[in-house]
Every structure is written in C-alpha cells, then in structure tokens.
C-alpha cells in the first residue's frame, strides 16, 4: 500500500520560493503556493496544486487555507527578517509539522533556530560554496554540504586510479570516508558499490565523509 503524498506549502514566491515551488511539483508532490502579491501568485496558478493570495502574518487567512494540514511549510521571504520570524512563530503555534525557513544571515539563523524552525536554508551561501569547490578543483563535479563538518563530493576518477578496485583505494581505512555510489553516466549509477568493483575511465565517485578528510582524499584520487 503506497503512503500518501506529503502536502507542501511555499510561502513567498520570489526567485527562490518560485523555483522551490516548481522543483517540488516536478518531484510529484502537492504544493500550495502563497504570496501577498497577486501578480506573483497568478504566475503559479498553472504550476502549483493550489494557490492563495494572502498575508502570511494573518492567522485567520492561514486558517482559511487549512495551514495546519500541511506536512512541510517553506518560508522563503528571507530578505524580510521580521516577517519570516513572525510567520515561523505563527506556524509553530498552528502545529505545522515541519518548518523550513530561508535565512538571510547567521544572526537570522540563530533566531529562527531558537523559535523552533526545523531546517534553515541558505541558498546563496550554499550555492556559492558548491561553485567555489567546483571552480577550485579540476576533479570535483559537485559538492553537497551535510553539516559544518561533513559533506558529499562527486569526484572524477583520475588516471592513477583507473583499473583499481574500491578495495584498492582503501578510502575507508585511510580517510574514514565512504564511497556511496559510482556514476557511469547520467542514467547509470551503482549504489553502495562492492569492494571488487573496478574503476573505469570517466567514472565519477560519490564520496561521503569529514570535510578535512575529503580534501586529502581528493588529492589521492
């Protein structure tokens, strides 16, 4: 028996919120798009499952769209600190199950964490880090930060490891990192490859671990 789809609400349809709405719809989930600007809302009438033009700081308006029934709320007006803080508090009070909030800076993040936001989003910072890692490395294809200390990197196999097996690389023993997948192309990904899998030219290794250890591992690979 399939589990029911989660219900998402995106509040604030600026550049980030609008993109988030589209990506969630592409993932096949139900999304309500909310903004107080009617012109913005109209742009998403044919994208989101439902749309609403309302002030997210108005409790009665939120009640009218059944905000408490949503599994995840994404508050994406990070430029307006006061609004995002007040709306976060309001959604907590109204028992929304999970609240993700776009933060403007570290100070904003600390306040959001104190008032109960479940996840903090730093789209500009996170994208800048991914681009910086890509620009400064000939090998790294992508970079995803899991925490302040741990990340996942996609690294192109260099000539010196082609023909070697996962066991030969000794990633776990030498770096305390884990090869969690090998990408052959966009359509072929080998998840949790066994130790006897041989590295081929063009392979991309997806590795998870401590940031400092990953930096050392990148040099080795």
Query: What are the pLDDT digits (tens) for 31-84?
Result: 999 999 999 999 999 999 999 999 999 999 999 999 999 999 999 986 778 899
Q: How many domains does the chain contain in total? A: 2
Tell me whether residue 2 is in a domain. no
pLDDT in tens, 190-211: 899 999 999 999 999 999 999 8
pLDDT at 106: 87
pLDDT at 1: 36
Tell me whether residue 72 is in a domain. yes
Which range of residues forms the domain containing residue 172?
A: 126-220
Q: Looking at the structure, tell me whether residues 22 and 109 fall in a common domain.
A: yes
Helices (H), 3-117: 15-26, 38-43, 59-64, 81-93, 106-114
What mean pLDDT is predicted for residues 153-173?
Answer: 92
pTM above 0.85, yes or no: no
Whichever domain contains 188, its CATH number is 3.30.70.1450
| Residues 18 and 39 sit within 8 Å (Cβ to Cβ) | no
């Amino acid at each position: 028996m399939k589990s029911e789809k989660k219900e998402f609400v995106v509040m604030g349809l600026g550049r980030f919120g609008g993109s988030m709405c589209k990506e969630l719809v592409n993932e096949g989930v139900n999304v309500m798009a909310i903004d107080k600007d009617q012109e913005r809302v109209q742009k998403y009438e044919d994208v989101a499952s439902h749309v609403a033009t309302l002030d997210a700081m108005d409790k009665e308006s939120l009640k009218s769209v059944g905000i408490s029934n949503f599994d995840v709320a994404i508050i994406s007006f990070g430029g307006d600190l006061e609004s995002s803080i007040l709306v976060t508090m309001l959604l907590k009070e109204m028992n929304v199950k999970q609240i993700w909030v776009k933060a403007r800076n570290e100070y904003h993040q600390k306040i959001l964490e104190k008032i109960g936001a479940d996840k903090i989003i730093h789209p500009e910072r996170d994208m800048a880090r991914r681009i910086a890692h890509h620009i400064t490395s000939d090998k790294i294809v992508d970079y995803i930060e899991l925490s302040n200390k741990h990340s996942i990197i996609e690294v192109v196999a260099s000539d010196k490891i082609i023909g070697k097996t996962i066991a030969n690389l000794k990633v776990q023993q030498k770096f305390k990192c884990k090869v969690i997948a090998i990408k052959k192309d966009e359509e072929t990904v080998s998840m949790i490859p066994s130790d006897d899998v041989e590295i081929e030219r063009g392979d991309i290794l997806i590795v998870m671990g401590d940031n400092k250890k990953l930096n050392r591992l990148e040099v080795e690979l």
